[in-house]
Structure 1
Amino acid sequence: MRVSITKKISRFVGAVGSTLLFFAAQAVLADAVKIGYQTGIDPSKVALADGLYEKNSGQQIEWRRFDNGAEVIRALASGDIDIGNVGSTIVATAGARKLPISTFLIAAELGTSEALVVRKDAGINSPEDLLGKTIAVPFVSTSHYSLLAALKKWGIDSKKIKIINLRGSEIPAAWKRGDIHAAYVWEPALGVIKETGKVLVTSAELARQGLPTYDVWVVRNQFADKNTDFLKSFTKTTFEFFSTYKANPTPFAYDEDNLKKIGRITGAKANDISVLLAGNQYPSAEQQQEILSGVYIQAIADTASFLKEQGKLDTVAPDYSSYATTKFLGVQ
């Protein structure tokens, strides 16, 4: 049976319409900013939970949660995400590999939110007691750097300790099985192991000894060149929550809604979040302009040199100044 011209045209129009709808959907997806975040605790997680980054920028965002910075960097390098949340140690390694990324915002100067916790039944009462023990840590993370730096400060040969690479999400199970004696990690794993462990050292203590680490936001340079307004909106939203928290830290940290939102985004327990919020520093835009222009660049350069010395990096970048920018902070 012959199909009428009218029906043919109708089918053709329908097919074209479907195709246009498909490509329109693809365009919407392509326009969504892809952002990879981790489970560190900071006030801006409330903004993430409330969808304020989308509302304030007028931009669709596709949020992706990652277990560690190494996974985030791989996603950035492949173009799977545009912006990523990593530790400063990861930026040092990215610089050694000449990845085209820049740090544009500090999410936190790390303090008690990362720590080396030892089992109470492991007989570890001093750093020297770590000899011969098994310590878990996510490799090439801020926790890994802090662990190695602490051991060096204590004069302990890391080769005389079994240091194993586990994701943060894998550490609680290994802890419960008794496979490890200690772990250096962040939330939510930190809160779990602290229930039956004790803190030997925190990143706050190491920072006071000249070994600062940071939780930061980095962006692919190609994306940054074309999306100035979005990045400025992103930093502005973040600073608003930093300011709100610092103006009234106790009410913010113990507000039930805030705790639920941060817990939902990070997986951390409400009882731990209040303490962890107080354990980090959240620099203002003006403070970040100074940090990203000097202290931070020196910190990642020192980190890279240390990791090379430890045999964790083959090379270091001759200059790390290109791995930080202050142009999106909104400071005149």
Structure 2
Amino acid sequence: MSKTGTFKNTLGTVALSLGLAVTSGISYAKDVVTIGYQGMFNPWKYAIDQKLVEKETGVEIKWRKFDSGAKAITGIASGSVDLTVAGSSPIATAVSRGVDVELVWIMENIAEAEALVVRDGSGIKSPSDLKGKRIAVPFVSTTHYHMLFALKEFGLSEKDVKLVNMQPNAISAAWARGDIDGAFIWDPVLGNIKKEGSVLISSKELSNWGKPTFDGLIASKSFAKESPEFVAKVIKVIAKADSTYRQAGADFSSEHPIAQSVKNIVGGELDQVVEAMALYEFPDIPAQVSCKWLGCQMEGGAAKALLYTSEFLLEEKKINGLQDDYSTFVNPAYAELAMKLTE
């Protein structure tokens, strides 16, 4: 792998100013880094498909796909994964339980990209009709968190509804068989079941009610401290892919290379990819390091979201206790370093 001396010195100065450890040699802490991802439709899949992280860092990447945030958390907690994408609910669950990770990037504000869809003919026309129905959701996920929150706001409890723990592929199969009445899920399954169902409520609506959700990139604290420049370069790659998508604007279509890469990595129909990505919001680096997301410690949006999510999960007896300060699990320094690398 090659790094110029000028680049290394500049990077070291910036990293030290941010309180990060810097590797003394030209190598990162690992020759092979394991990064986890999930099946969301986002510009990140273009970086994976085109091996942009490998090109940027010169490091061999072992990519691992996870069906849920809970499984991704298990991977990073076991030490078999160095960085991974997970939803805000499984991240909150992990840090509340003391898993030594930190949130370093907001992959996407979920907004309308997750929703509770009820099957046509199920008899569900309003929230009260959910009583006695079988609703599938991946447990310990952002949709599980929002499902529980929705039930509470609807004046219902888990006892009123038959919640079934299913991963996305299982939900798709169960829907096809007619085994479930509804599901709270993300694309590509979301787009498929919408064809024979209708949205009862979306995560954007629930976020507006005070419980926002997002997908984030988390890193093992020990790995990130040993290789801060690697984490910053990963973020730089993600930020560039996000910027390319945002710049496309209304011209983003199924012909765009990002859409093609999403289909290559995740699957689904190209038109569905375009429609689904429009439901997300992808914050740029200035927004990431601001108080809206990673910045401002406990006053920051991400730290508050993790706290509020954890408080709700505690109330629902999904976790046993709260951390004193959730900002210790949110670190904007790597995004700040990535911003310096793009200047």
Normalising to structure 1: TM-score of the pair?
Answer: 0.88
Q: Which moved more, 1:260-269 or 1:159-168?
A: 260-269
Does the 8 Å contact 2:97/2:319 carry over to 1? no
Partner of 1:15: none
Partner of 1:230: 230
Q: Distance in 2 between matches of 1:295 and 1:42?
A: 21
Does the 8 Å contact 2:245/2:258 carry over to 1? no
User: SS of 1:328's equivalent?
Assistant: helix
Q: 1:53 to 1:252 in 2, by over 3 A?
A: farther
Q: Distance in 2 between matches of 1:231 and 1:249?
A: 28
Q: Distance in 2 between matches of 1:111 and 1:233?
A: 27
Partner of 2:330: 324
Superposed CA deviations along residues 182-212 of structure 1, whole A, max 9, x for unmatched, are: 0001122212211211111111122222221
Q: C-alpha displacement at 1:256, in angstroms?
A: 4.6
Q: Distance in 2 between matches of 1:45 and 1:309?
A: 36
Superposed CA deviations along residues 37-73 of structure 1, whole A, max 9, x for unmatched, are: 0011112211211111111122111111110011111
Partner of 1:285: 285
Q: Show structure 2 runs of 5+ residues with no match.
A: 1-27
> What is the aligned-residue RMSD (CA, Å)?
1.8
- Report the residue type matching 2:45 in the other structure: K
User: SS of 1:190's equivalent?
Assistant: helix
Q: C-alpha displacement at 1:228, in angstroms?
A: 1.1
Q: Which moved more, 1:128-137 or 1:251-260?
A: 251-260
Q: Which moved more, 1:235-244 or 1:245-254?
A: 245-254
User: SS of 1:279's equivalent?
Assistant: coil
Q: Which moved more, 1:148-157 or 1:103-112?
A: 148-157
Partner of 1:250: 250
Does the 8 Å contact 2:254/2:260 carry over to 1? no
Q: C-alpha displacement at 1:239, in angstroms?
A: 0.9
Q: Distance in 2 between matches of 1:77 and 1:258?
A: 31
Q: C-alpha displacement at 1:117, in angstroms?
A: 0.6
Q: C-alpha displacement at 1:158, in angstroms?
A: 2.6
- Report the residue type matching 1:315 in the other structure: G
Q: Distance in 2 between matches of 1:235 and 1:57?
A: 11
Does the 8 Å contact 2:83/2:220 carry over to 1? yes
Superposed CA deviations along residues 145-197 of structure 1, whole A, max 9, x for unmatched, are: 01111111222223210111111111011111111100001122212211211
- Report the residue type matching 1:292 in the other structure: L
User: SS of 1:158's equivalent?
Assistant: coil
Does the 8 Å contact 1:41/1:113 carry over to 2? no
Q: Distance in 2 between matches of 1:185 and 1:141?
A: 9
Does the 8 Å contact 1:108/1:282 carry over to 2? yes
User: SS of 1:205's equivalent?
Assistant: helix
Structure 1 stretches of 4+ with a deviation exceeding 3 A read none
User: SS of 1:74's equivalent?
Assistant: helix
Q: Which moved more, 1:230-239 or 1:247-256?
A: 247-256
Does the 8 Å contact 1:191/1:268 carry over to 2? no
Partner of 1:181: 181
Does the 8 Å contact 1:91/1:323 carry over to 2? no
Q: Distance in 2 between matches of 1:241 and 1:264?
A: 16
Partner of 1:299: 305
- Report the residue type matching 1:329 in the other structure: A
Partner of 1:56: 56
Does the 8 Å contact 2:41/2:266 carry over to 1? yes
Q: Distance in 1 between matches of 2:223 and 2:129?
A: 48
Q: C-alpha displacement at 1:292, in angstroms?
A: 1.3
Q: Distance in 1 between matches of 2:138 and 2:100?
A: 24
- Between Structure 1 and Structure 2, how many residues are aligned? 306
Partner of 1:310: 316
Superposition pairs of residues 75-154 of structure 1, within 5 angstroms: 75-154=75-154
Query: Identity across aligned pairs (percent)?
Result: 37
Q: Show structure 1 runs of 5+ residues with no match.
A: 1-27
